[in-house]
Chain A
Amino acid sequence: MKARIFVTLKGGVLDPQGKAIHHALDGLGFSGVNDVRAGKLIELDLADDTSDEDLDAMCRKLLANTVIENYRIEKVG
């Protein structure tokens, strides 16, 4: 089983990386970009019997810092 974990900064948490990307897009002439937020995608290759509880615990204990980040789990196959 594979899972994709999307880690994103919570709303209200400043994202200088997103701002820099936004600025660079503006510089390339893409004027219609209203905002950019950058996050992380973490792909896990898991034993088939990995429980949802364990997967959630992996996110809470390490993959995301829930003080500043949200996470979304997407199971693939």
Chain B
Amino acid sequence: MKSAVIVFPGSNCDRDLAVAFEAATGAKPAMIWHRDTELPADIDLIGVPGGFSYGDYLRSGAMAARSPVMQAVAQAAERGAFVLGICNGFQVLTETGLLPGALLRNAGGHFVCRDVALTVENAQSAFTSRYDAGETISFPVAHHDGNYFADAATLDRLEGEGRVALRYAEGVNGSARNIAGILNEAGNVMGLMPHPERVIEPAHGATDGKRLFDGLVEGLMARA
């Protein structure tokens, strides 16, 4: 199984995500610099990490979305590779158009950095198969632009197609319909603002995030 983590100037969760990928897959992911134009052949799993790529210039994720490597990520996603965008990675995926909508400044105007309760809305996806539908879990968030926005028709479509994977179980950032994480139409691309990679081992104080990565690997093994 081949995994990769994309690294932009200003990424700061890339190494945490690499640790999570290695723990789940048993192999170190390739760290891919934003100027690279190719990913390892037959890549199975790509992580777009959190951070402040390009200093959040223009809009969060906007510059990273236009970097050379993202074309390769889009092509891999088209081929069926799993793509996981966390926090700034979610912003990058919406800016590339791999996921619908946009992440606006938090409604309260403040940077929010704390553990939040989430409800698993869809436990059928490859990213959430180790959770139970309706289960409440806790991941940390750390963002300023996490207020999910999409027009009403897009929101209805996401809800109707089971593409709202995770919802905040409490008020966090003003997100439309409390959306915390969504899936693409094919179900192989997920973006979420909370950080599962920060809660994968007992030393972190919680392990709710581990099941996301383990479930992903299980899904990949089943597919192989």
Contact surface of A with B, Cβ cutoff 8 Å: 13-17, 19-20, 61-63, 65, 67-68
Contacts and interface: CB of A to CB of B under 8 A. Distances in A.
Interface residues of B, number: 19
B219 interface: no
B106 A65 contact: no
Interface stretch (B30-38, B97-105, B128-136): B97-105
B68 interface: no
B147 A68 contact: no
Nearest to A63: B58
A37 to B, nearest CB: 13
A67 B150 contact: yes
Given A62-B58, A62-B62, A17 B150 contact: no
Nearest to B103: A68
B149 A16 contact: no
Contacts of B94: 67
Given A13-B104, A14-B147, A65 B109 contact: no
A15, A61, A67 — which one has the most chain B CB atoms within 10 A of its CB? A67
B177 interface: no
B59 interface: yes
Given A14-B174, A67-B102, A67-B150, A19 B109 contact: yes
B62 A65 contact: yes
A65 B150 contact: no
A16 B150 contact: no
A13 B103 CA distance: 11
Interface in B66-107: 66, 94-95, 100-102, 104-107
Give me the 3 closest cross-chain CB pairs, A-B, nearest first. Answer: A16-B109, A67-B102, A68-B102
A67 B109 CA distance: 20
Contacts of B100: 67
Given A62-B66, A67-B150, A16 B106 contact: yes
Contacts of A68: 102, 104, 149
A62 B70 CA distance: 14
B10 interface: no
Contacts of A63: 58
A16 B58 contact: no
B94, B107, B149 — which one has the most chain A CB atoms within 10 A of its CB? B149
B55 to A, nearest CB: 15
A13 B105 contact: no
B59 A65 contact: yes
B173 to A, nearest CB: 10
A24 B62 CA distance: 29
